C-alpha cells in the first residue's frame, strides 16, 4: 500500500525543524532541500497524483530529465532529498511509509566529471584590477572576492561573516562552514589591509551601525549571495580574461586550492583550509597546472635521454624532410 500524496506532503515543516535542530544542517542546505521538495509537491499537484509510488517517482524523473533538462547529478540530489524525507516519515510511523520507493531508484551515473576550472595567477591579477576600487561598492566587492581567493572561503561563508568574525590582533578569521563546522583561517598582511580599507568605508552604508554583518548591501542589509555572484559576473564580463569557462565565486575557491597545490602544499593542509571533512572532497579541487605537467614531462628519463642525444649531436633532427619531387 502506497502513501497518499496528501499525507506525504503534510510533514515537510516538521522535517526541516528536525534536520535543523538535531543535525544542525546549514541554512543553505535546508534551502536547497526545500526547493527539491517544493518541486516534487508541484509535480504531484499539477499531475493530480494520488499516491507516492514507483510510477509517480519514475514520472518525476522523466519530468526532471525531459522537461527541466536536469543533469544526472541534479536528479540524484533531488531523489536523495526525497529519500531523506521518506526516512523521516518512517521514524514518525506514518502509515505505509516503509513502502516508499525512493531506495529502489538507482543512482544515475554521471560519467567522467570534469575537474573544476581555476584561473592562473596572471588572470587573477587581471580580474582584481578590473574591480572599480575607487567607489564604496567597489571596495566592498574587492574585499569580499579577496576573502574568497586568499582564504578559500565559499561565497555562503563570506555571506555569513560578521564583524566579530575578524580578529586583527591575532590575524585570524573565524568562519562557519558546511554542517556548522567552525574553522579558523590566517589573515595575511595584504588581506588585513584590504579588509581595513573596506571597514573604513563601511559606515557609508545605510544604517550600518544597526547590522553586525561584515558585508552590507546598499540598503544596509546583509549582502546576499546572489548579489555577490551577479556582481562578479558583471566584472568578468568586462575583464579581459579570455578564458573558455564561466568564472564564478567558486572559481576563486578552486584557484586558491590549485595555487596552493602548485606550491607543493600538503593535501591535508588544503583540506583543512577548505573545510572539507574528507581528503576525497579536496581531490576534486586540486589539479596540476599546465606548467607543472610540462615540468613533470620534461623530467621523464626518456625525454632527458633524447635531449642529451640531440645536445651531443648523436641525434640530428630536422623539422621536416627536404622536398623531393616524385620520379615519373
Question: Residue 205 belongs to a domain with what CATH number?
Answer: 1.10.443.10
221 and 186 within one domain:
yes
Q: Is 178 a catalytic residue?
A: yes
Residues 130 and 272 in one domain: yes
Residue 186 in domain: yes
Whether residue 148 is contained in a domain is answered as: yes
Q: Which of 85, 149, 198, 285 is catalytic?
A: 285
Q: How many domains does the chain have?
A: 2
Residues 40 and 148 in one domain: no
Q: Which domain CATH number covers 40?
A: 1.10.150.130
Q: Are residues 155 and 278 in the same domain?
A: yes
| 159 counts as catalytic | no
- For the question of residue 285 being annotated catalytic, the response is yes
Catalytic residue, candidates 123, 140, 159, 253: 253
Asked which of 104, 132, 147 is the last residue of a domain, the reply is 104
DSSP secondary structure string for all residues of 258-316: HHHHHTT--HHHHHHHHT-SSHHHHHTT----HHHHHHHHHTSHHHHHHHHHHHTTSS-
> Is 198 found in the same domain as 100?
no
pLDDT for 274 equals 79
176: helix, strand or coil: strand
Name the catalytic one among 178, 222, 287, 292.
Answer: 178
Looking at residue 236, its pLDDT comes to 94
Same-domain status, 95 and 142: no
Is 219 tagged catalytic? no
Is 154 catalytic? The answer is yes
pLDDT in the model for residue 259:
85
Is 59 in the same domain as 152? Answer: no
pLDDT of residue 146: 96
Please indicate, yes or no, if residue 305 is contained in any of the structural domains. Answer: no
- If asked whether residues 95 and 177 sit together in one domain, one would say no
- Tell me how far apart the alpha carbons of residues 265 and 58 are, in angstroms, rounded to a whole number: 46
Active-site residue among 154, 159, 254, 259?
A: 154
Q: Which of 117, 183, 250, 292 is catalytic?
A: 250
Residue ending a domain, among 104, 131, 155, is 104
Residue 17 lies in a domain: yes
Question: Do 21 and 143 belong to one domain?
Answer: no
> How high is the mean pLDDT in each 10-residue block of the chain (328 residues)?
83 92 83 93 92 92 93 91 94 90 83 73 94 94 96 93 95 86 91 95 94 95 95 93 91 90 78 74 67 66 68 66 61
CA–CA distance, 74 with 159 (Å, rounded to integer):
24
Q: What per-residue confidence (pLDDT) applies to 325? A: 64
**Residues 130 and 273 reside in one and the same domain:** yes
Instruction: Give the pLDDT of residue 52.
Output: 92
Residue 94 located in a structural domain: yes
Domain that holds residue 150: 121-283
Q: Residue 293: what pLDDT?
A: 62
Which pLDDT value is given to residue 314? 67
Annotation marks residue 23 as catalytic: no
C-alpha cell at 146: 579577496
- Cβ–Cβ < 8 Å for 185, 175: yes
Same structural domain, 36 and 94: yes
Q: Do 130 and 63 belong together in one domain?
A: no
pLDDT at residue 108 in the model: 83
The pLDDT, as a whole number, for residue 318 is: 64
Is the residue at 295 inside a domain? no
Cα angle 299-305-309, degrees, rounded to a multiple of 5: 135
Q: Is residue 292 part of a domain?
A: no
Is 192 within the bounds of a domain? yes
How far is the C-alpha of 76 from the C-alpha of 98, rounded, in Å? 20
Amino acid at each position: 500500500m502506497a502513501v497518499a500524496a496528501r499525507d506525504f506532503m503534510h510533514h515537510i515543516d516538521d522535517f526541516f525543524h528536525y534536520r535543523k535542530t538535531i543535525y544542525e544542517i546549514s541554512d543553505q542546505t535546508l534551502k536547497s532541500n526545500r526547493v527539491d521538495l517544493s518541486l516534487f509537491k508541484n509535480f504531484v499537484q499539477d499531475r493530480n497524483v494520488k499516491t507516492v509510488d514507483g510510477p509517480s517517482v519514475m514520472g518525476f524523473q522523466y519530468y526532471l530529465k525531459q522537461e527541466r533538462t536536469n543533469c544526472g547529478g541534479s536528479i540524484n540530489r533531488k531523489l536523495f532529498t526525497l529519500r531523506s524525507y521518506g526516512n523521516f516519515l518512517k521514524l514518525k510511523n506514518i502509515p505505509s511509509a516503509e513502502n516508499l520507493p525512493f531506495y529502489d531508484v538507482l543512482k544515475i551515473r554521471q560519467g567522467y566529471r570534469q575537474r573544476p576550472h581555476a584561473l592562473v595567477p596572471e588572470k587573477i591579477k587581471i580580474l582584481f584590477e578590473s574591480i572599480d576600487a575607487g567607489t564604496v561598492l567597489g571596495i566592498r566587492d574587492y574585499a569580499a572576492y579577496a576573502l574568497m581567493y586568499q582564504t578559500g572561503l565559499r561565497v555562503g561563508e563570506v555571506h555569513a561573516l560578521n564583524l566579530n568574525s575578524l580578529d586583527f590582533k591575532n590575524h585570524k578569521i573565524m568562519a562557519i562552514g558546511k554542517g556548522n563546522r567552525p574553522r579558523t583561517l590566517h589573515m595575511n598582511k595584504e588581506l588585513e589591509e584590504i579588509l581595513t580599507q573596506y571597514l573604513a568605508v563601511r559606515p557609508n552604508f545605510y544604517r550600518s551601525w544597526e547590522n553586525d554583518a561584515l558585508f552590507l548591501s546598499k540598503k544596509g542589509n546583509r549582502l546576499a549571495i546572489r548579489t555577490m555572484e551577479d556582481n562578479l559576473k558583471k566584472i568578468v564580463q568586462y575583464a579581459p580574461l579570455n578564458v573558455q569557462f564561466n568564472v564564478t565565486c567558486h572559481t576563486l575557491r578552486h584557484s586558491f586550492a590549485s595555487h596552493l597545490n602548485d606550491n607543493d602544499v600538503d593535501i591535508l593542509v588544503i583540506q583543512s583550509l577548505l573545510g572539507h571533512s574528507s581528503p576525497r572532497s579536496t581531490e576534486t579541487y586540486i589539479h596540476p597546472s599546465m606548467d607543472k605537467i610540462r615540468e613533470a614531462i620534461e623530467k621523464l628519463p626518456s625525454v632527458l635521454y633524447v635531449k642529451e642525444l640531440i645536445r651531443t649531436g648523436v641525434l640530428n633532427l630536422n623539422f621536416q624532410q627536404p622536398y623531393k619531387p616524385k620520379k615519373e
